[in-house]
Amino acid sequence: MMRHKTRHPLLWLTALVMLFGLLPGLSLAEQAEAPAYPGFVLMEQSQFTLVNAAATLYEHEKTGALVLLLENEDTNRTFDISFRTPALNDTGVPHVFEHATLGGSKKYPSKSLFFNLSHQTYNTYMNAMTTDIMTTYPIASLSEDQLLRYADYYLDSVFNPMLMEDASIFSEEAWRYSLASEDAPLELAGTVYTEMKGAYTINTAARFNFFKTLFPGSVSGNSFGGDPQHIPEMTFEDLTNYHDAYYHPSNSLSILYGKLTQKAEFMQLMDSYFSAFEKKEFTFTDENYVPITEHTEVTHEFAVEAGSDTKNGAVVYLGYVLEGVTKEDEHVMDLLTTLINEPSSYFQQEMKKRLPAASAGCYYDNTTPEIAVVFSATGMNAEQAQDFRELVDEALIHIRENGFDKEAVEAVAAATRLELLLTAEEPNVGPNLLPSVAYSWTADGDVNAYQQYVDN
């Protein structure tokens, strides 16, 4: 599975607040006595109000691996381990690795175990996801005993995957040549190759071309899922080297969530896996990035099948690099982009009038080497890119001069409340929350980044 940029889901957060406002949580007084666990140093204790949880951060002494405990009364307990995994090129190594890790490990060599396990009683969620900056492995169960066994399975899979010795997993998951019959043409196959061939639309291509243009040389322009044109450039060694480089405890964050009575067992389990490694320094410098110094415009072609209707088939991206952005600015930017996306906003209304076939939106990005506000539109012709740019500029000037009207802000609040009622039905709070916490940690460098973001 591969997930594209997940933005801070404001609606979802508010829903969680509502949901957990109802659950009894641990008080700060109880939290004051965070226990010590062999091999770990207690770093920090706080309250994660959003999910009414006591948050305790530990650091593994030998490796610096981070472990965050989020304790509340939710019996749908979740374990998640994440690694910061930059995409160093367009071959999709992080994505292939995500698939390959669950293809068997030293202790659990059966390749079908993942699928067998995911159908067991009590198991509520089992997955792995690659994003642009990290790979995450969340798993949930209503039984704590079962979750402990699953955590063992996940930890062994990420740290000791069979892939390291078994090149057949590479050709299975990444790419290989296949022959349907003896004299059939040679064809490319492989789970990720096939998945990405389907997923690599003009939108995907436009997104990466855009980031390559806005942030030249930066890893943020690379396809973390894999560009089908480049996937076959990947070698088995690329994959094993990637594991050696990034699947290391010093580069990981593990999170345990829910009603926990076997914390000592979980901590001991993690210690046993982490301790096999020596501490390693990780710095993510994005060393080939060369900032642009002036307005830049680039057009890319996208191949389609002969005879396809290409009218209104273009994708247009427009971004602004922001300098000197503070945490507060990020908050404002988040709200601002949410409001601009509202159907009643000046921007959307003008879109409707002037580019009626198109649909557009915007968001702010804090995973790029510098923070950016990004507008994009689909359903227009390439020649209309200039019209789109003018419209965006005009909308920004309109906001500067007029602000937002109260009605628009209230409309956002009302939509949030509605969404909230629907999301409160959602059973998988842990599996949804933990990857967001890990994502914010990767983007921000602070384990509490998400917590601060939502609790403020």
- Collapsing DSSP to helix, strand or coil, 164 comes out as helix
Nearer to Zn ion, 86 or 258 (CB): 86
Shortest reach from residue 192's CB to Zn ion, in Å: 6
Closest approach, Cβ 190 to Zn ion, in A, equals: 11
Alpha-carbon distance of 135 to 404, in angstroms, equals: 37
CB of 307 to Zn ion, least distance (A): 30
Q: Judged by CB, which is closer to Zn ion: 163, or 316? A: 163
List % helix, strand, coil for the chain (3-state, nearest 5).
45, 20, 40
The residue among 174 and 270 lying less far from Zn ion, judged by its C-beta, is 174
Report the alpha-carbon distance of residue 384 to residue 360 in Å, rounded.
13
Say how far residue 14 (Cα) sits from the centre of its chain.
20
| Residue with tokens 């994009």, as numbered in its chain | 376
The two structure tokens encoding residue 356: 């009626």
CB of 199 to Zn ion, least distance (A): 8
Residue owning tokens 């792995």: 128
Residues in Cβ contact with 448 at an 8 Å cutoff, skipping those fewer than 6 apart = 44, 46, 55, 57
By beta-carbon proximity to Zn ion, the closer residue of 89 and 262 is 89
Closest separation between CB of residue 194 and Zn ion, Å? 10
**Do 392 and 319 touch, CB atoms closer than 8 A?**
no
Among residues 77 and 99, whose Cβ is nearest to Zn ion? 99
Query: In DSSP terms, which residues pair with 125 in a beta bridge?
Result: 140
In the complex, the smallest distance separating the C-beta of residue 168 from Zn ion, rounded to whole angstroms, is 18
CA quadruple 203, 208, 213, 215: dihedral, nearest 10:
140
CB closer to Zn ion, 2 vs 139: 2
CB atoms within 10 A of CB 430: 28
What is the nearest approach in angstroms of Zn ion to the Cβ of residue 154?
17
Q: Which is nearer to Zn ion, 197 or 279 (CB)?
A: 197
348 in the Ramachandran plot: left (φ > 0), alpha (ψ -120 to 50) or beta?
Answer: alpha
- Answer whether 379's CB lies under 8 Å from 357's CB: yes
DSSP H or E segment with residue 59:
strand 53-60
Min separation Cβ 94 and Zn ion, Å: 10
Cβ of residue 134: shortest distance to Zn ion, in angstroms?
A: 15
Please tell me the number of Cα atoms within 13 Å of 297 on its side-chain side.
Answer: 6
Kindly state the smallest distance separating residue 284's Cβ from Zn ion, in Å. Answer: 23
Residue 5, classified by CB atoms within 10 Å of its CB into exposed (0-12), middle (13-18) or buried (19+), is middle
If phi > 0 it is left, if psi is from -120 to 50 it is alpha, else beta; for residue 97 that is alpha
Q: Residue 127 Cβ, how far from Zn ion at the closest point, in Å?
A: 10
Please report, as ranges, the residues that interact with Zn ion according to CB under 5 A: 1-2, 195
Please give the distance of CA 197 from its chain centroid, rounded to a whole number: 21
Give dist(CA 369, CA 218) in Å, integer. 7
Indicate the residue among 249 and 431 with the shorter CB distance to Zn ion: 431
Inter-residue contact 142 to 77 (CB < 8 Å)? yes
Closer residue to Zn ion, CB minimum distance, 174 or 438: 174
Q: Which residues 6+ apart lie within 8 Å of 412 measured at CB?
A: 338, 339, 342
Nearer to Zn ion, 135 or 345 (CB): 135
Please report, for residues 85, 211, 328, 379, the alpha-carbon distance to residue 408 in angstroms, rounded to integers and kept in the order given.
39, 31, 21, 25
